[in-house]
Structure 1
Amino acid sequence: MERNAAPIPGSQAGVMLLEALIAILVFSLGILSLVALQATTVQLTSDAKYRTDATLLANRLIGQMWTSSAMQASTPAARATALKNAFETGGAAYTTWLADVSGKEGLPGVVAASSGVVSTRPTVTVDDTVGATLGQVVITLRWRTPEMPLNAPGHQHVVVSQISR
């Protein structure tokens, strides 16, 4: 005895096709979400690398300050003044360090101000006034990632340290 399959009622025609299209839509949204998540992950990883590089460059400068001849001065005030003269923005040691910051292994987009361009050059200040902050060093590093516009201030990392003996 052979049974014939019952015909599909007219109200059910095309339901399977509709279910398949909905499944493809849900799957596509999931894949697009994963791609967006991957792009965000790459961007956050790059940002973390730049922050780490900024910290290392600031720590390198602090290490240079500790080992510099300025630390041989006889009084704390004289040491702070010698550090200020050598390492503060514009000093000879600062200029050498600036080449590391803006060089091949440094931070991206470190440039001086020009027409329509916001400066991202790092700044270094050394407090040489007598008091609790004598020898306090403030290093401010700035950088601009390649996708940022030139008139944007960029990212910033500030390191504060006390250089004294």
Structure 2
Amino acid sequence: MRPHPAPARQRGIMLIEALVAIAIFSFAILGIVGLQATAIRAVRDADYRAKASLFADQLVGRMWADRFNVPTYALNAGVTQTCPAGGNQSGNPAIAEWLEGITDLDNPGALPGAAGLQQKVLVSADNTVTLTLCWQAPQDESPHNFTLTTQIRG
């Protein structure tokens, strides 16, 4: 006995099922690629924030070691806006060295775009220090910042 041929209205249904399965699979792959891109961006941002935290902690450590001269660490104190474009100049050698570490492109730990943004170190009368570090990666639309506030006494 030979099998009966499929009725004319059933022909091509297997092709349609295969095309629908391929379309569903393609959408799933596109979704996974989108999630991967978002995850990479989040990891990159977390890395920059961790580096900024490390730089802030380094400067606070220097200030604690030199706690009788904390007011000399002020940087861009007159700047009212957060992360404006511009350079950073300081007469304090510790601040100059710290700024070089943040902005040196040969340093793999440097923050991208930090050289073109004004970093800020505010020191109030009671030695409350507020550091604001700014950076902007090439793919970012606006600058990011990390702020640390501490009081240095002793």
**TM bracket (short chain):** 0.7 to 0.9
Q: What's 2:113 paired with?
A: 109
Segments of 5+ residues of structure 2 without an aligned counterpart are: 76-89
User: How far is the alpha carbon of 1:121 from its aligned partner?
Assistant: 2.5
Q: What's 2:20 paired with?
A: 22
**Residue 145 of structure 1: SS of its match in structure 2?**
coil
Which of 32, 40, 57 aligns to 1:42? It is: 40
Q: Please provide the CA RMSD for this pair.
A: 1.3
CA distance in 1, matches of 2:54, 2:148: 11
Q: Deviations over 1:43-92 (max 9, x none)?
A: 11000000000000000000000112xx3xxxxxxx3xx3112x111341
**Residue 4 of structure 2: SS of its match in structure 1?**
coil
Query: What fraction of aligned residue pairs are identical, expressed as a percent?
Result: 35
- With normalisation by structure 1, the TM-score equals 0.78
Q: Which has more radius of gyration? A: 1
Q: What's 2:59 paired with?
A: 61
- Map residues 95-106 of structure 1 onto 2, 5 A cutoff: 95-103=96-104, 104=107, 105-106=109-110
- With normalisation by structure 2, the TM-score equals 0.83
**Residue 138 of structure 1: SS of its match in structure 2?**
strand
Which residue identity lines up with residue 123 of structure 1 in the other structure?
Answer: K
User: How far is the alpha carbon of 1:148 from its aligned partner?
Assistant: 2.7
Deviation above 2 Å: which 4+ runs of structure 1?
none
Segments of 5+ residues of structure 1 without an aligned counterpart are: 72-78, 113-119, 129-133
